[in-house]
Each structure stands twice: as structure tokens, then as C-alpha cells.
Structure 1
Amino acid sequence: MNIRTLLQACTALAFIMASLSAAQAETIRVAIGTQDTTINCATGGLMIRELHLLDKYLPHDGKYKDVQYDVQWKDFTSGAPLTNEMVAGKLDFGAMADFPGTLNAAAFKKAGKRSEFITVLSGSIEGSGNGIVVPTGSPIHSVADLKGKTISVPFASTAHSMLLRAIKAQGWDPDTDVNIITQAPEVAGSALKAHKIDAHADFVPFADLFPYRGFATKIYDGSQSHAPTFHGALVDADYAKKYPEIVIAYLRATIEANRLMAQDPEKYSLLIEKVTGIEAPVDYLYHGPLGLQTRDLTWKPEYRQAVASAIDTLKLLKKTDVELDANSIIDDHFIREAFKQSGLDYDAALKNYAKQPLTANDAQTGKRITHFNDVAQVWVEGEDAVRSYAQPQEALSAQEALTKQGKTVRAVFVQDHTSGLKLLAGQAWYVRSGNRQIAAFLLRAGADDYAKKVSGQVSDYASVRADAAQAVAAR
């Protein structure tokens, strides 16, 4: 046999051996259900998928040495259909809020199986993220004005739970004092535009997206309920038991997505906009510094309580006859191990309740901003970084000056003077006091109370913007 023939034989043998090896290799499915438009799930879904982060962490040694991975992604607009596919064995992971996540656990238990929450993705210990809106121009300014009115909400959602709490706080009967109907966000948007409903309660991001798009006004933020809420990731418990290293790989990808978002919230807000169509300023409202929610991956007691409250609400609504326990639904050992492998201190993060910090200099004075309840920001289209200002009046003046220069301002953000809640400037009420100082508030009632304390005057956005335009013109 000559050398050429020998080489051909070796090549053929190598090909055969490789083919046999490939045929024998195990293929493991990693099927992940996401909610892309529920933007605070982004670091557990959309970003991992779009940036191919999972590929970096899936194991390829030990029992996974010759494994082939079949990574599947499927997007949903709510938790219920995602749960149906998880229970049917078509998905291994899913991202959803505390309330539908508890329904997920109930559905699994009824099927003789088990699912478990493995991490928080984003949340608020006060309840921010959920909210109630009314049509633009409505005379309704608070929940107290909703008696006898028609309110729509996606049933069995975390917003539904919030709405029931808000009604209960008024001392009302949800069956007789208000008319609650079920509507998905896309249906409610049209109903609000046509003034066919008096109000709509919804989850992230719709209570802020609809106002940003100009056809609704936010009258209630979930933080007023002081009821913790979160979105998190669940896994089929049998899958997690069989492939714990894959669960940890998914969580390590989540940790990296979270880190990237913290480093450059503008860039990744634009990515969310590109994928979902939800405008980047709304994404930034949640994911940016001092945002409406914290991207907190740890199981704080408040989030455990949110699951317990969801169980109680399910019983109240008679949505399940399955007995559930919050501790049996939550498993924190996977996220603890993912933190460890990522070189992070889980216990330190567990104790940290701070919002994503803002580290910035005032765009007007150049001085470092050190007080944050009156901070304001301006996002100019085409600029990589959002501009920050120590006071709302500086931001409003900058908005007018930029507009005069022909630049497009995508959004102006302000903070509620009392709570520190991040707001879209166009949705806030303002109090003018001495030295042209203004303070922003989510609610008219909050502005009225503050105005009395400082002998100030309450104004809406149009009025304070007109003042800013006049000041800029006078320069």
C-alpha cells in the first residue's frame, strides 16, 4: 500500500469514527420560554438569547464531554401559555412574575410534577412595575375616583393581584363597587385610546409604555401598595435534578446579562427596543440607574413573601384547589452556586437593597451629583449616554434648548421628590417654590401636600415646560 492510499484509508477511518461518535453523543434539549415584552425579564431571556451568552457557560466536560445541545427559545406575551407548555414538557425553563409563577407551580403539582423558582430577575420590594392608568384627559386622578367605574386587567396576572389590593385598601368590594373585566395589554391599549374603559391595571411595562405613547396617564404605581413583586425564572424540577450543571449555566448567563445591563443600560435598552418594539426610554425607566425596579437576583425575604401572598390570592380568587407552600416553590441553591462560580458574594448581594446607582456629573455645571430625589435626566436621540442634571428645572431647560437646536429629545426623566420613584417627566405633577426650584411628583395629591408645606404652586408638565421654553428664549 503506498503512502497516498494509506492516507486516504486513515482519513476514511477517521470520518467513520467521528460519525459513530456523533451518533452516540447525547443530545440535551435546553428549551427556554421567555416574555420579551415583559422587559424586566430581559436579563433572563432576551439578552441571553440575542448575545448568545448561554453558549459560554454550558458544560462540556465530565458527563457532558460528548453532549450536543439543542437550545430552543420561545417567546410568550404572558405567563399562562408559557406554563401550559412547561407542564406539557415542551419547555424546561420559563420567566414570569410571582403570581403566574405560583400558578405555574400549582399546575405542575396538579399534573403530579413540580416546578421551582430558581432566581429573581427584577423586582421591587415596594411593588413598583405594576400600575393603573386612565385615558389621557380623564378626570380620574387616583384610585379613590374609580368607584363604580370599569377597570380592565389581565386576569390571573401580578397586576390583577395589585388591583385587588388597591381596591381592598379603599374598603370596597371588588364584586360590587367596581366593574373588573379581563383584557390583555394589546386590547386594553385600543380600549384606552377609544375611551371604552375608565382605567386599566397592568404589569411591566404597560403602565408606563401607554403613557409614554401618549394615550394614557398613570394614576397609581404598585409601590403605593407596599406589596413586594418580582419576575423570576423557573425550571422543571425533574430537569434540574437531572441536569443541575445546565441550570447553573443558565444562571451564570443571567448574571452576565445583568452585569452588562448595569454597565451600559442605554445600549441594551436600545437592543430591547430593536427586538420588542418597546421604546428604549421605557426600557431605561426600568433598567437604568435609579430605575423603577432593581435587577436583584437574590431571594430576599420580601420576594419570598410575594410568593406566599400570591398563594393566598390564588385561594381568594379560587383559581386553584392545590395546596402550595412558598418554601417548596423556591430553591436558592442553584443561584448561590452560580454566584460562587462567577466570583460573586451572594450573601452580600442578599443584604443589598440599593437601586442601581447613578454615578454622574451634572451636564450643566459639571459637578458630581450627590443627592438623587430631585435628579433629572435627558435622553437625546443619537447620544450614547443619557444626560443627568441635579434639578428638574435644569433638565427641562436643556430639553427646550436642545429642541431649539433641532435635536430630538427621546425622553426626560424625573424622580418623585418624596419616594424617589423614577418617572417620565410628561407624567409628573410639579411644585414651584422659591428661586425657580421645582419638585416632581407622581400623584396630584402628593404635589398638593408638598405645595402646602412650602407655600408652592402645583403645575402640570405643559406649564413647567412652557416656563422653561420662555426662559431659554430670554437668554
Structure 2
Amino acid sequence: MTRALRALVFLTLLAAVVAGLSCKPEAKQTIRIAIGTQDTTINCATGGLLIRELKLLEKHLPKDGKYKDVTYEIEWKDFTSGPPLTTEMVAEKLDIGAMADFPGVLNGVAFQKQGSRSRFIATLSGSALGSGNGIVVPSDSPAQGLKDLKGKQISVPFGSSAHGMLLRAIRDLGWDPDKDVTLVSQSPEVGGSSLKANKIDAHADFVPFAELFPFRGFARKIYDGSGVKVPTAHGVLVREAYAEKYPEIVVAFLKAALEADRLFAEEPEKYSELIEKVTGVDAEVAYMFHGPLGIQTRDFTIKPEVRRALQVAVDTLTLLKRTDTTLDVGTFVDDRYIRRAAAELGLDYEARLASYAKLPLSGKDALSGEPIAEPTLVAQIWVAGEPKVRAYASPGTALAALGQLTIEGKEIRAVFVHDRASGVKLLADRAWYARRPDGGLSAFLAKEDAERWAAENGAVVVDFATLRAERAKLTAAAP
């Protein structure tokens, strides 16, 4: 074979090989979706836990156009607080995360310091008045209000929304936080242990611990965040680079969150049970927050109050010298993705943006049959073994129903009432009551509020144990 012929054969074989390679199908693209959740921070449930457990993200991910042949690699990672979640987002180990306003601002600052950005793209839940944060004391503490804690030691997770609430409450009393109280930093877990052991005089914390600790019997709530009237919010954050590269995936995640919100609204008891199964946070406490007329309102829109909550966080963290870098809330917040998600699901974003309504409680009193009309007088009883919480028009009819249920041998999971002044949902056995001469009852979180209202309305102040004992005597005396 001549040299020329050999060269021709080689070129022919090479061309065949190249042609064969070009005919091979391209490898499918794999897109990672790494999501950081805070399962025990139950205000984030519709932006994490429920999406994961119900596999809602898979349902909404795009499957056509540039995503037609994509393989999705969904990664979930749970955190007990926002800072470690932020660390992994900044390191690009996570793409999306859920957290409260204060850690959210620190998230934005952390990205800014490394020359990139994160964005606050949707709200999950919150309170225009600040409900959700609270201050608790050991069950046997003589303290009835924050004013009784002067000179005492109060623990709080530093840099949290509860920390901001506590500082404002102290300021409102005219106290110096460096002189009139001793503040120490403790996580919820450590704070709970300290309360049990009476190692601290009080503990301030965020969702759900100011309700969880009293429900479990070793603490008593004496102050609600609504007292400072500073908004709070939990929401969804995303790495800006990820959102710009995969906007359809970000919208899909928010559509999953919107579906989770709808499902919770339709069956709050069912999904409160799911939260307990996954996190250990009692279903009764989850229901307190997210059931009808709950402590906080689930709301996907980014209201002016949410923007204010973020700005308050920026100002407070700067004041506390927790950050030396400011954050422009106007550019940090980006509502384009949630607006698109709402539109694709046929939801009216503007209508919800204008509405401040909580999940309503309507219908008739389970005992008397009278219409349930006044939210601040509503009461509820969760009977063990029943899938739905019973509703009552007033604490009085709920108390009467509780007596009957006790006689019938029913196990009671929880009794809820609402603070007459703020509307905040309370555990009935931890509330104070003002009783009018006609027998009408109004519930209050703080004893001093009950005393003030009683003095203005010719009422007397009683506790739950007294009401139960009186009801038992009446029942025993009945023919």
C-alpha cells in the first residue's frame, strides 16, 4: 500500500469516527435545586416542610422549552436557625432559603460583603403588630408583666427578631438595657432548659417558643410582641445569580409554596398534625399560629409592613453593632417572582396585597348555636380524637362546653381564647379573665390588662382555675 493510499484510508476512518461521535445524543442537563429550611420555625412551613413532605415542588417544576430534557436534583437541608443557613447560601451550597426578617437582613449583608446578592422574594407569614415573638417566665415566677423584670436576667437569641422586640419593649418602659436588666444570649433550646431549671428570670424568643414552652407546662407567657407594634415577617430568599439563571424554577418553588398555603388553610388541623410528626412541635401550637384567627397571618404578598420589618431589622442590627454594612431594603426586596407565580395560578396578587384578613373563623357556636361574630371573643376547644377544632362565640360558652365534655370523659387537647385588646390567640388555662356582673367573660394575656379593663367596665378579675372550679360546683349542684 502506497503512502498516499494509507493516508487516504486513515482520513476516511477518522471522518467515520468523527461522524459517529456527532450522532451520539447529548447528555441530559442536571439542574440542582438546593433548599434550606427551618422546620421547627413553623412560620416557614409553607416554604419548606410542607413542600418537601407533600412533594409539591416536583409538581410545579417546568418540563418544557429549555427544561424539556432536564433532570432535577432536589436537595433539602434543615436548620434550627437562620445564620448557618445563610453560611451555606453564601458558599453556594444552597440556592433558596426560608427565614425571618432579622436573619434575612443578615443574609443580604453577608452576600453583599462577598460581592454578590440575595433577594427577599416572598412572604410566608407574619404579623403587622409583631405577634409571634414573646417573653416567658418560669411557671412559678411572681412576674406578671415585663415591668416586674427590672434588675432581672433575661435571655434571648441575640440578633433575632425577638431580640429586637425585647430592646424596644425595654425602651418603651424608659429603661436602659445595659443597666436595668441583664441580657444574655441563649438559643431556644438552651433558654427552655434554663427556664426549667430556674437559671434565668425570663426568656424572650421567636416562633413558636413563646407558646410552645407554656403549652408544655414549664413556662408562662407574660408579654407578646404585639406590645411594641413592630411588624415581623418570615419569607423566602434566593441567591440572585440562581434566580437570574433559572427564573422559571424560582417561580415554580413559589407556586409550590402557594399551594402549600392553600392546603393549610383548607385543613389546618391535618397539617398541624403533620408539622408535629416531622418536627415534634405540638400540633396544638402549630394550630395556634396558623389556624383560624391565628397568632400570625400566612400571606404571600410583600406588604409595606414587611418592608418596614426588614428596615427595622437593618436599623436594629446596626444599632446593636451586629453589622457594619447597611442594606438597601428597596433593592433587597424583589416581588417579581411571587407576582408571576400568583398570576400563573390565577391568584389576584393586588387584592391580597390590600387585604389584612386572617384565616377566618365563621359558623355557629358548637354549644349554643349562636352565630360567631366578634373575633376577640371567640374561643375554641380541640377534643382528642376529633379531626376538627370546635368553635364557640365566647369564652363563656366554651367554658360551659368544657364542663360537659369533662363529664362525658372527653380528653381535651387544648382550649383557646383571644386577648380582648390585641386579638392574639391564647391558651385558655394561661389567660386572665375579666368577668362582668352579667357573667360575660373577656380574656387577657396580662393580668394588668385584665385589671385595667375590669376597672373600666365594672368587672372582676379571675383566673382559669377559679372559673373551672365554679363551673364544677354549678354542675354538681344541678338536679
TM-score normalised by structure 1 residue count: 0.94
CA contact (8 A) 1:152 1:200 kept: yes
The alignment covers a number of residue pairs equal to 458
Q: Is 160-169 or 462-471 further displaced after alignment?
A: 462-471
Give the structure 2 partner of residue 48 of structure 1: 51
CA distance in structure 1 between the aligned counterparts of 2:98 and 2:468, rounded to whole angstroms:
40
CA contact (8 A) 1:397 1:469 kept: no
Deviation at 1:231, TM superposition (A): 0.5
3-state SS, counterpart of residue 391 of structure 2 = strand
CA contact (8 A) 1:208 1:218 kept: yes
CA distance in structure 2 between the aligned counterparts of 1:27 and 1:287, rounded to whole angstroms:
36
Unaligned runs of at least 5 residues, structure 2: 1-20
3-state SS, counterpart of residue 435 of structure 1 = coil
CA distance in structure 1 between the aligned counterparts of 2:403 and 2:413, rounded to whole angstroms:
13
3-state SS, counterpart of residue 281 of structure 2 = coil
Give the structure 1 partner of residue 449 of structure 2: 446
The one-letter amino acid paired with 1:117 is F
Deviation at 1:454, TM superposition (A): 1.9
Following TM superposition, where does structure 1 have runs of at least 4 consecutive aligned residues deviating by more than 4 angstroms?
none
CA distance in structure 2 between the aligned counterparts of 1:158 and 1:44, rounded to whole angstroms:
19
CA contact (8 A) 2:426 2:445 kept: yes
Q: Is 365-374 or 175-184 further displaced after alignment?
A: 365-374
Matched, 1:317 2:352: no
Q: Is 366-375 or 308-317 further displaced after alignment?
A: 366-375
CA contact (8 A) 2:117 2:239 kept: yes
CA distance in structure 2 between the aligned counterparts of 1:209 and 1:467, rounded to whole angstroms:
28
Determine which of 362, 366, 376 is the counterpart of 2:379: 376
CA distance in structure 1 between the aligned counterparts of 2:30 and 2:285, rounded to whole angstroms:
39
CA contact (8 A) 2:368 2:397 kept: no
The one-letter amino acid paired with 1:146 is L
CA contact (8 A) 1:451 1:458 kept: yes
Structure with greater Cα Rg: 2
Deviation at 1:472, TM superposition (A): 2.9
3-state SS, counterpart of residue 452 of structure 2 = helix
Matched, 1:156 2:166: no
CA-based RMSD of the aligned residues comes to 1.5
CA contact (8 A) 2:396 2:441 kept: yes
Determine which of 29, 33, 46 is the counterpart of 2:32: 29
CA distance in structure 1 between the aligned counterparts of 2:468 and 2:120, rounded to whole angstroms:
45
Q: Deviations over 1:106-141 (max 9, x none)?
A: 011111111011101000000000000000021111
CA contact (8 A) 2:231 2:305 kept: yes
Deviation at 1:426, TM superposition (A): 1.4
Give the structure 2 partner of residue 3 of structure 1: none
Give the structure 2 partner of residue 467 of structure 1: 470
Determine which of 269, 285, 289 is the counterpart of 1:286: 289
Q: Is 362-371 or 448-457 further displaced after alignment?
A: 362-371
3-state SS, counterpart of residue 134 of structure 1 = strand
3-state SS, counterpart of residue 281 of structure 1 = helix
CA distance in structure 2 between the aligned counterparts of 1:195 and 1:274, rounded to whole angstroms:
29
Give the structure 2 partner of residue 12 of structure 1: none
> How do 1:258-407 and structure 2 match up within 5 A?
258-407=261-410
CA contact (8 A) 1:397 1:471 kept: no
Q: Deviations over 1:166-221 (max 9, x none)?
A: 11111112112111001111111111011110000000000000000111111110
Give the structure 1 partner of residue 459 of structure 2: 456
Q: Is 357-366 or 250-259 further displaced after alignment?
A: 357-366
Determine which of 192, 206, 209 is the counterpart of 2:195: 192
Q: Deviations over 1:351-389 (max 9, x none)?
A: 001111112211012233122211100000110110011
Give the structure 2 partner of residue 229 of structure 1: 232
> How do 1:199-214 and structure 2 match up within 5 A?
199-214=202-217
The one-letter amino acid paired with 1:82 is L
CA contact (8 A) 1:397 1:472 kept: no
Determine which of 134, 138, 141 is the counterpart of 1:138: 141
Deviation at 1:155, TM superposition (A): 1.1
3-state SS, counterpart of residue 375 of structure 2 = coil
Deviation at 1:247, TM superposition (A): 0.5
Unaligned runs of at least 5 residues, structure 1: 1-16
Determine which of 176, 179, 182 is the counterpart of 1:173: 176
3-state SS, counterpart of residue 246 of structure 1 = helix
Deviation at 1:228, TM superposition (A): 0.3
CA distance in structure 2 between the aligned counterparts of 1:250 and 1:113, rounded to whole angstroms:
22
Deviation at 1:151, TM superposition (A): 0.4
